[in-house]
Structure 1
């Protein structure tokens, strides 16, 4: 399952029930370091808010409480941001 951002770069989302985690990643490697950091901050904030909101709706039936944001390149995954989704106030802006 994937979603394209405003520049047309593929952003993908996956879930790992064993680790209660949601992963967000991009395979777009043409960004410079500042662009990667900006994207990672935005993606981490959105992922955190989405998980908190879903848990508020589903209650304890929602198993995902952690998120990670990564970039995938020739050498594998580069984890950029990760944390637990506790409350919306804890999520990045």
Structure 2
């Protein structure tokens, strides 16, 4: 299983959310997980929206950060740990 798959399982993400990429900075002891929702176009997001960053609970000794963009559609909520749209 790839690191994105492991991270997706740990965060308990459900469709349409998935982990796009994971970056581990060993020197800074940080883990960054980038989440995306919806369909992509040739492996790239269909359009670019500003991303937000949240501090998540540590994974071991590593500070963990979640990078994502909340959906514009108020009916579609993000993962529960990202909070409400407003």
TM-score, length of structure 1 as denominator length: 0.35
Which has the larger share of strand?
2
Larger RCO, structures 1/2 (Cα 8 Å, 6+ apart): 1
Q: More helix by proportion, 1 or 2?
A: 1
